[in-house]
Amino acid sequence: MRIVLVRHGETEWNKLHRIQGISDLELNETGRRQAEALAQALKNERVEAIYTSPLKRARDTAYVIAHHHQVEVVTLFGLRELDAGEVDGLTYEEMRIQYGDFLDRWIEDCTAVRPPGGCTLHELQEQVWASIQEIVKRQHQMAAEGEENDKGVVVVVTHFFPILSIICRALGLDLSQCRRMKLALASMCTLDFNPSRTVLVSLNDTCHLKEETQ
The closest alpha carbon to 162, from 120, 129, 193, 188, belongs to 129
Angle formed at CA 59 by CA 55 and CA 62, multiple of 5 degrees = 150
CATH architecture of the domain with range 2-84+119-213: 3-Layer(aba) Sandwich (3.40)
Percentage of the residues of the chain whose pLDDT score is greater than 70: 96
The closest alpha carbon to 20, from 78, 91, 76, belongs to 91
Q: Is the pLDDT of residue 81 over 70?
A: yes
To the nearest 5 percent, what fractions of the chain are helix, strand and coil? 45, 15, 35
Confidence (pTM)? 0.94
Q: What is the pLDDT of residues 88-98, one digit of tens each?
A: 999 999 999 99
Q: What is the pLDDT of residues 19-49, one digit of tens each?
A: 999 999 999 999 999 999 999 999 999 999 9
- The DSSP element (H or E) to which 204 belongs, if any, is strand 198-205
Q: Is 122 a catalytic residue?
A: no
Q: Is 68 a catalytic residue?
A: no
Domain extent listing, the chain = 2-84+119-213
Q: Residue range 140-165: average pLDDT?
A: 86
Q: What is the pLDDT of residues 163-210, one digit of tens each?
A: 999 999 999 999 999 999 999 999 999 999 887 789 999 999 999 998
- The DSSP element (H or E) to which 104 belongs, if any, is helix 100-108
- Spot the catalytic one: 8, 122, 140, 208: 8
pLDDT at 214: 41
